[in-house]
Amino acid sequence: IVGTRPNFIKVTQFKRIAKNYPKFHIKILHTSQHYSDEMSKIFFNELDLHPDYSLDIPDHLSSVSQIAEIMKGIEHFIVNHFYPHLIIVVGDVNSTLAGALVANKMNIPLAHVESGLRSFDTTMPEEYNRILTDKMAQYFFVTEQDAIINLKNEFVPENKIFFVGNTMIDTLVAYQDRIEASDILDKLQLHPKQYILLTFHRPNNVDTPNGLERVVQLIRDIHRIADHHIRHIVFPIHPRTKNNFLKFDMFNQIQSIPSLVLTEPQSYLNFQKLIRYAFCVITDSGGVQEETTFLKIPCITLRPSTERPITLWEGSNVLLPFDIPTISGYIRSIQNNNHQNYRIPEFWDGKSTERIFRILSDII
């Protein structure tokens, strides 16, 4: 069960690997939690990921209504089209929780991919999705050692926890040649390592005039401190972010910054090319922390906590407050080559999906 772009990226290799296990018959259900030509169909086409079934749920629902509609749609699919021996959910979005609830109420075994991650920040709705999903799961596939510790602390039996690595990295490895072939740098007239890449979409940063004003001030400050090594600031603007800039009549403020390259949301291949050749990335995203860690690109995450601590201990990620002098100071420290000792975490090697199927073949 998948529903959002981060979900899609985590399951691109499932059907390919499943071909090596004839006893498995895999169906991918897309809940349509994220659905638009720009942000879903493009991903499906370039990643050769074609869901077997897509729900038709209304747009602009509250979280409660969205989860309810997704649950009803999943139940209808199971009852009328395909009754599974196992449901697999990935990540921490509303579709994850909805799938877990359906599995629980229909007495179908549940596996959670990316299990055990905890930010310990209960202001994030995703934190509840993670915890509740793990409460209902029978099989726990984890990306890092901290997740194992978290699950053991929640009394999950050790023989149900499987350290497999990160399936998101499987996609990066599988598509690395196609990512390299992307011409997005030429289209945007960018030079490698001479731009900073920005992504912002979390409510506390983009849903209020004060939050958007901080984003504007940050971009202006980066423009101010940029030297000949950093020529551009690239901002593929999320629809939520753009709509709020327009709603509060602030869009012209970012458009007027000379070094800013403002783009529409990018396809997966284009966005990964932009990450790969960025001087650094500034984000409030979860998945970007992992992608930059694998690619060893400095990442500044403007959040008080992360559910992916291995990106801090071993990777290229740092948590900073949304304080412009602090952010500017860290950018200068990157310019001075003070942050180079990055490591790729264990099992982030492109083989995580294979590990999952090898385990499932033994336990099902």
Q: What pLDDT is recorded for position 38?
A: 57
- Distance of alpha carbon 63 from the chain centroid: 19
Same domain for 269 and 327, yes or no, is: yes
Q: Which of 142, 132, 138 is nearest to 156 (CA)?
A: 138
Per-residue pLDDT at 134 = 98
Q: List, as one string, the DSSP characters of 109-176.
A: -EEEETTT-----TTSHHHHHHHHHHHH-SEEEESSHHHHHHHHHTT--GGGEEE---HHHHHHHHTH
Average pLDDT for 292-320: 97
| Sign for the pseudo-dihedral over CA of 275, 280, 286, 290 | positive
Query: How many CB atoms are located within 10 Å of the residue 76 CB?
Result: 12
Whether residues 69 and 137 fall in one domain? yes
pLDDT (tens digit per residue) in 251-275: 999 999 999 999 999 999 999 999 9
The pLDDT > 90 percentage for the chain reads 87
204-240 per-position pLDDT tens digit = 899 999 999 999 999 999 998 877 789 999 999 988 8
| Active-site annotation holds for 191 | no
**pLDDT averaged over the chain?**
94
Residues 104 and 143 in one domain: yes
Residue 131 lies in a domain: yes
pTM to 2 decimal places: 0.95
Handedness of CA 299, 304, 306, 310 (dihedral sign): positive
Residue 80: predicted pLDDT: 97
CB proximity list for 71: less than 8 A, separation 6 or greater: 98, 101, 102
Does residue 37 register a pLDDT over 60?
no
Q: Is 197 contained in some domain?
A: yes
DSSP E strands, the chain:
29-30, 53-54, 87-90, 110-113, 139-142, 161-163, 195-199, 232-236, 260-263, 280-283, 299-301, 317-319
Q: Following CA atoms 304, 310, 313, 314 in sequence, which dihedral angle do they give, to the nearest 10 degrees?
A: -140
229 and 161, same structural domain?
A: no
Is residue 341 in some structural domain? no
* 103 and 25 housed in the same domain: yes
Of 51 and 38, more confident: 51
Is residue 172 a part of any domain in this protein?
A: no
- Per residue in 48-92, pLDDT tens? 999 999 999 988 899 999 999 999 999 999 999 999 999 999 999
What mean pLDDT is predicted for residues 318-332?
95
Catalytic residue among 25, 30, 81, 201: 201
Print the domain residue range for 87: 5-166+348-363
* 32 and 59 share one domain: yes
Domain count, the chain: 2
Q: Three-state DSSP class for 65?
A: helix
Residues 160 and 24 in one domain: yes
Please report the pLDDT score of residue 336 as a whole number: 85
Residues 108-161 have pLDDT tens digits of 999 999 999 999 999 999 999 999 999 999 999 999 999 999 999 999 999 999
* Model pLDDT, residue 341: 84
Residue carrying the six token digits 């809940």: 31
Burial 292-305 (b: 16+ CB within 10 A, else e): bbbbebbbbbbbee
CATH number for 240: 3.40.50.2000
Do 318 and 184 fall into the same domain?
Answer: yes
* pLDDT on residue 328: 93
Q: Compute the average pLDDT of residues 41-48.
A: 86
* Mean pLDDT confidence for 105-110: 98
Is pLDDT above 70 for 35? Answer: no
Do 124 and 44 fall within a single domain?
A: yes
Rounded to whole angstroms, how far apart are CA atoms 142 and 331? Answer: 32
pLDDT at 250 over 70: yes
Tokens 């304080």 label which residue? Answer: 323
Q: By mean pLDDT, which of 38-42, 44-48, 183-187, 337-341 is the weakest?
A: 38-42
CB atoms near residue 246 (< 10 Å): 11
| Adjacent-strand bridge partners of 110 | 87
Report the pLDDT value the prediction gives residue 34, as an integer from 0 to 100: 74
Q: Are residues 196 and 277 in contact, defined by beta-carbon separation less than 8 angstroms?
A: no
